[in-house]
Amino acid sequence: MYTRGIRGATTVTSNTEVEIMKETSKLLEEIVERNQLEPEAICSVWITLTQDLDAAFPAKAIRELDGWELVPLMCSLEVPVKGALEKCIRFMIHVNTAKSQKEIQHVYLNGAKALRPDLAASAES
């Protein structure tokens, strides 16, 4: 068994609680499905947002999911690099798994596909 990191990112169209919650849930569900995860195997989830997103804590969306109440979650601001992708939510999920690095499915949705087109393309095939 290893502890692996699973990356994921998505973008929202507007800085609203509804949009942030919806896209956070969608990203997590996609990561869970592609990697066949159970909350019990999750060590922690680190979530970052770009500075233009301040309407909600994405962790709230995860805590409301059945079985995720005890998973350690942390929200933080992304480094504000000029010209970086805006309205972006990123995940780093630490998980206990027997999977190799090559078997891990990283997930990039919406405008965040531009961050890692190599990973976004391989997951869609």
Catalytic residues: 7, 63, 75, 78, 90, 108, 116
Structure-token pair, residue 60 = 């709230």
Q: For residue 6, how many other CB atoms are within 10 A of its CB?
A: 22
Report d(CA 112, CA 85) in Å as an integer.
Answer: 8
| Structural contact between residues 87 and 93, judged by C-beta atoms closer than 8 angstroms | no
DSSP state at residue 105: -
Cβ atoms of residues 81 and 48 within 8 Å = no
